[in-house]
Structure 1
Amino acid sequence: MRTMVSSWDRSLFQQVAARHWPGGDRVLPKLSRGADHGVLWFGVATGAALLGGRSARRAALRGVASLAVASATVNTLGKRSVRRVRPVLDVVPTIRHLARQPFTTSFPSGHAASAAAFTTGVALENPAWGLALVPLAASVCFSRVYTGVHYPGDVVAGALLGVGAAFAVRGVAPTRSQLAPPARPRAEAPALPGGRGLVVVVSRGSGQRAASRPDPVPGIRAVLPDAKIVECSEGDSPADVLERAAAAAGGGALGVFGGDGTVNAAAAVARRHGLPLAVLPGGTYNHFAHDLGIESVADTARAVETGEAVAVDLVRVDGLRFLNTFSIGAYPDLVRVRERWAHRIGAWPAGVLAAVHVLRTAQPVPVRVDGRKRRLWMLFAGNCVYRGLGVAPVRRHDLADGVLDVRMIRGGRLARTRLLTAALTGGLRHSPVLRTARVRRLRVEDVPAGTHMAYDGEVAPAPRSLTLEKENEALVVYRLPD
């Protein structure tokens, strides 16, 4: 059987070599070289991350992770377990030969594995984009036979391995379609065809890149032509504008275009007036909108027109409320430093530099948590349970689970080093530096003067004592059904 397969493989290889393929001599050798070391796919991923939205970045990241797993498997197991000699190039026209011939064994094809892994990974996150990449991936696979560096069987085996790697990554990191739908409790909200009865407050100051972004108003009018749009200029008080918009909404709904800080302010106003909230993502970080399942203004418009809505939790902190997260310690310092530098160098570079600065200069904060004295690098509280271990929460499955996700990084000798070591070795969940809890209420006292707190991206001086308390299903928000 093995002899028959090998004979078929070699015969098919010779048929490809003997046939003239129009345009192949000019294109396929270059394409094969361009895919060396995954460069082609890293370029596609970089382009998607820079030019696409959040969905594009997720698909690109999944594709790269799948490629990495496939490449590691090929190089550590595949090449070493089946030491097949490369094809003899005598039957392949010289014009097709690669300038640099590979020196590793032939089975399986690493290029095919990478192409199939990246494309399958992208397709699992976004089927349409994955389908668009299939011709490119197939061309890379065929180019390996065309240039004479692999037998067809090597390519088929590599492609199957790549597909398996993408599904293995999905088993560890589920796609959005696999995750449980966030904000499960359905709620009553008026259907507003064309946005009639919806008053949308547009905050142009949301996000570090607001000045360079196009005017959002035409895009909102295109999908919600009957909505009333109120623009919040730089000199306006967002709270006052939101209050006037809520009063004008009557029995309709309040909408807000902006980032998490603006959405936080709008949520408080909507709850006070008993109005459903329509969130139109428009900031640098739109964590609440994305956890809600809203990727674009068009998503919100469809939910508003059909009256699809859910109830979500809020957290009350004395006179404030938050939708996403609250923290004391290193994170508020990081936000303040990042905001100071972001207008000069951009949000992402500023975030990296701020993290380095805070890691080097931050000191533990002595506080009393639920009556117990602690010295903490950071106290984090999330509105509902976040995915992700340790101190780097990722996203939420459910926005109405009734609990606070509390994480505390304790101060002490070599605390930062121990925390970093635990993260790198995969033992973060069991690190003695990290404490986690899920509670409905949290009391924080004896906060030192000058300490800052952060909530939904906003930073403010922290009071001497404060209480975090859940408000279950306190806000109605428009959201598309799953």
Structure 2
Amino acid sequence: MLHRGPGWIAALDRTLMRTVSGFPGGHHDTFFRRLSASANKGKLWFGVAAVAAAIPGRTRRAALHGLLAQGVASAVTNLVFKTLLPRARPLPEHLPVFRFVHPQPTSSSMPSGHSASAVAFALGTGMVQPVLGAVVAPVAAGVAYSRVHTGAHWPSDVLFGSAIGAGAALVTRKWWPVRPPMPPTSRRRVQEAPLPQGEGLSIAVNTLGGSFTEETAAALKEVFPLAHITLIALEDDVAQRVEEAATRPGTRALGVWGGDGTVGTAAAAAIDHDLPLLVLAGGTLNHFARDAGTPSVVEAVAAAERGEAALADVGVVAVERGLADDPEQVELTMLNTASIGLYPNLVRRREQLQPALGKPLAGVVAMFRTFAVEKPITLIVNGVRHRLWIMYLGRGRYFPRDHAPLFRPVLDDGVLDVRMMTADESFARLRMLWSVLTGTVATSRITHLTEATRVRVECGTAPMVLAVDGEAMPGVRAVEFTLKSAALRYYSPADGN
């Protein structure tokens, strides 16, 4: 026999039900009946999530978290509490016949699954994207109330179901952690020689850059008519041509147009010859130009003409290649990032998917594809052996603090941002895929986020592939990363972000 609940709860339920029963009839009865039906089996929330998922960024993440919380709340309600707490639903005499839902559900009245799902979805989305949560909250409240208005549940069923939904959202919040806010952009300012019309500026232009055209050199000459421009052709040695530009008589500043690899080469030359560096966004990728506040020629020209500059740390990458008893020593300058393991493959897949899916979703899909088919590598990091999916090092703290670092607001913070995703733990592949699915890479046990000023990595079973600022180097036996504090002076507009 289904019980009705404790006496005082049953009495309160009947009192509240009589109050609802006394409301006059009208179009609102049809509205609440249809609203309640739309939430059957979570259809309403799947529809809202599908619309929200079309908007990249936090809105998409909010929709995914809302569905995750809703799924947990629904499972706990229907599989656990409805079995443990059998209770009869309201009878037709408790409400006007035109308002009473037909047919009435046959499962236990306690607790309300509709209410649990509604509150879980609304609170789950609101934790990630408050604006979306504020929009969904009145709809969720309407669904919860509709279960009483139509006689499907007692008020206490709705209250208990809502509490389960809120608990599901809070529990899954730990699975889907809130990203810490990115700190404001900060630069350590210095004053350099102004370069009116490019006077004293020597620019090295890599013609192999992905965005180079025949008009590029002419456009640079137009904005810097007094500058000397050195074109780097296919058959040229990039480092040698950059060196020629840096040592040209009368040079007071070195400019560079090209991708991250070319900019790194120019930065090394600028430091060697005590020259400030003017980074002109070009090439396939140019992350340093973006971080330096010169994402286009407009900002670069403004900073150069006023002599506005700042200081940046640089990474020093000491590479050992070749045979163990006769290694080849190579030293590289790192302005942005380095990676070992599967990260280059992940980036390649992400860039292929990005035009169609957007960067956040493309990153998730690329992670799934990469970790589903490839194997971890063995490395010795600062003397400790690890099986690793990815090892990533950033010259400076990058944000967000997960598997897809994008922005670096400070260029002279004096640290290496070290991120390792290990396969040392049991069920490592499943843990990795689950953390990607739930957005919990940053808090997963397989993810290790640290900061350092020196990191040494040695190959375990086979030579590794090292990528520094996008340039891959195979056959590496060992590599050591260190820092030169505030070693690079670069032009950056004082009012740039």
> Aligning the two structures, in what range does the TM-score lie when normalised by the shorter sequence?
0.5 to 0.7
Quote the residue 1:86 is aligned against: 89
Range moving further from structure 2, 372-381 or 51-60: 372-381
1:387-398 equivalence runs, <5 A = 393=403
Distance 1:115 1:425, change over 3 A: closer
Cα offset for 1:121?
2.5
Structure 1: stretches of 5+ with no match in the other structure: 191-203, 207-226, 229-234, 248-253
1:221-370 equivalence runs, <5 A = 315-317=315-317, 318-321=331-334, 323-324=336-337, 326-327=339-340, 329-336=341-348, 338=349, 342=353, 347=362, 352-359=368-375, 364=377
**CA–CA distance in 2 between the matches of 1:37 and 1:474?**
60
Of 413, 425, 441 in structure 1, the residue corresponding to residue 454 of structure 2 is 441
**CA–CA distance in 1 between the matches of 2:52 and 2:76?**
26
**CA–CA distance in 2 between the matches of 1:436 and 1:30?**
49
Cα offset for 1:417?
6.8
Aligned to 2:27, the other structure's residue is in SS state coil
Quote the residue 1:21 is aligned against: 27
Aligned to 1:83, the other structure's residue is in SS state coil
Please give the per-residue CA displacement for 1:236-283, whole angstroms capped at 9, x wherever unaligned: 99x99xx9xxx9xxxxxx9x9xxxx9678778878967579999xx99
Cα offset for 1:380?
0.6
Distance 1:382 1:403, change over 3 A: same
Quote the residue 2:13 is aligned against: 6
Aligned to 2:391, the other structure's residue is in SS state strand
Aligned to 2:334, the other structure's residue is in SS state strand
**CA–CA distance in 1 between the matches of 2:187 and 2:408?**
15
1:36 aligns with 2:40: yes
Distance 1:312 1:65, change over 3 A: farther
Whether the 8 Å CA contact 1:311–1:473 is kept in 2: the answer is yes
Whether the 8 Å CA contact 1:113–1:163 is kept in 2: the answer is yes
Structure 2: stretches of 5+ with no match in the other structure: 1-7, 192-208, 212-222, 225-231, 247-254, 304-308, 318-330, 436-440
**CA–CA distance in 2 between the matches of 1:56 and 1:152?**
32
Cα offset for 1:54?
1.0
Of 147, 152, 156 in structure 1, the residue corresponding to residue 150 of structure 2 is 147
Quote the residue 2:391 is aligned against: 380
Whether the 8 Å CA contact 1:368–1:446 is kept in 2: the answer is yes
**CA–CA distance in 2 between the matches of 1:5 and 1:278?**
72
1:58-137 equivalence runs, <5 A = 58-75=61-78, 78-89=81-92, 91-93=95-97, 97-98=101-102, 101-137=104-140
Whether the 8 Å CA contact 1:335–1:457 is kept in 2: the answer is no
Aligned to 1:319, the other structure's residue is in SS state strand
Letter aligned with residue 25 of structure 2: R
Letter aligned with residue 42 of structure 1: F
Of 383, 388, 407 in structure 1, the residue corresponding to residue 420 of structure 2 is 407
Distance 1:45 1:340, change over 3 A: closer
Whether the 8 Å CA contact 1:62–1:122 is kept in 2: the answer is yes
**CA–CA distance in 1 between the matches of 2:233 and 2:117?**
52
Quote the residue 1:469 is aligned against: 482
Aligned to 2:415, the other structure's residue is in SS state coil
Whether the 8 Å CA contact 1:29–1:97 is kept in 2: the answer is yes
Cα offset for 1:205?
7.2
Quote the residue 1:420 is aligned against: 429
Aligned to 1:84, the other structure's residue is in SS state coil
Please give the per-residue CA displacement for 1:108-154, whole angstroms capped at 9, x wherever unaligned: 32212221222222223332222222332223223222332112332
Whether the 8 Å CA contact 2:99–2:149 is kept in 1: the answer is no
TM-score by length of 1: 0.59
**CA–CA distance in 2 between the matches of 1:277 and 1:107?**
65
Distance 1:353 1:436, change over 3 A: closer
Based on CA coordinates, which of the two structures has the bigger radius of gyration? Answer: 2
Cα RMSD (Å): 6.1
**CA–CA distance in 2 between the matches of 1:181 and 1:382?**
18
Distance 1:5 1:407, change over 3 A: same
Cα offset for 1:358?
2.0
Quote the residue 1:217 is aligned against: none
Quote the residue 2:169 is aligned against: 166
Cα offset for 1:310?
11
Quote the residue 2:252 is aligned against: none
Letter aligned with residue 11 of structure 1: R
Cα offset for 1:169?
4.0
Letter aligned with residue 5 of structure 1: L
Letter aligned with residue 356 of structure 1: A
Aligned to 2:22, the other structure's residue is in SS state helix
1:452 aligns with 2:465: yes
Distance 1:472 1:447, change over 3 A: farther
Instruction: Count matched residues.
Output: 400
Please give the per-residue CA displacement for 1:371-398, whole angstroms capped at 9, x wherever unaligned: x696855451333678999xx7466999
Quote the residue 1:46 is aligned against: 50
Whether the 8 Å CA contact 1:28–1:143 is kept in 2: the answer is yes
Whether the 8 Å CA contact 2:428–2:446 is kept in 1: the answer is yes
Please give the per-residue CA displacement for 1:163-203, whole angstroms capped at 9, x wherever unaligned: 34434444665434xx365478664499xxxxxxxxxxxxx
